[in-house]
Amino acid sequence: MVQPKYHVFVCTSCRVNGVQKGFCHSKGSVDLVMRFMEEIDDAGLSGEVMVTNTGCFAICDKGPIVVVYPEGTWYGNVQDDDVARIVESHFENGEKVEDLII
């Protein structure tokens, strides 16, 4: 069983029926999932960080939403450029990206 150091959940507005629609999806959150996977791989952290897309967290006005466990850190308004910051600061250096925390 894989036991990652970090588990990243990215809201992609996925509905129970599999349809993706909603605020985070319209703001490019599916691309964020791919970007996280690329940045994590580039940093050599594939065995330490798992990425999962999720349904709505119900705080759409702050989306796209990214939640990092085990700490339970919630990041809001995450953009493409923020992914590298989160990977480097949070996953590599253990320091949360304060300006993105909600």
Condensed to tens digits (0 to 9), the pLDDT of residues 11-69 reads 988 666 666 667 777 788 889 999 999 999 999 999 999 999 998 888 888 989 999 99
**In whole angstroms, how far apart are CA 72 and each of 8, 24, 31, 68?**
10, 19, 22, 5
Q: What pLDDT, on a 0 to 100 scale, did the predictor assign at position 18? A: 63
Q: What pLDDT, on a 0 to 100 scale, did the predictor assign at position 1? A: 56
pTM: 0.90
Choose between 87 and 57: higher pLDDT.
Answer: 87
Specify the number of domains making up the chain.
Answer: 1
Question: What is the DSSP pairing of strand 73-75 with strand 49-54?
Answer: unpaired
Q: What pLDDT, on a 0 to 100 scale, did the predictor assign at position 39? A: 97
> What is the domain-level CATH number for residue 65?
3.40.30.10
Give the start-end residues of each E strand in the chain: 6-11, 49-54, 66-69, 73-75
Residue 13 domain boundaries: 6-100
Q: Is residue 84 part of a domain?
A: yes
Q: What pLDDT, on a 0 to 100 scale, did the predictor assign at position 27? A: 84
Q: Is residue 74 part of a domain?
A: yes
Backbone dihedral angles phi then psi of residue 51, each to the nearest 5 degrees: -115, 130
Backbone dihedral angles phi then psi of residue 62, each to the nearest 5 degrees: -110, 10
Q: Is residue 1 part of a domain?
A: no
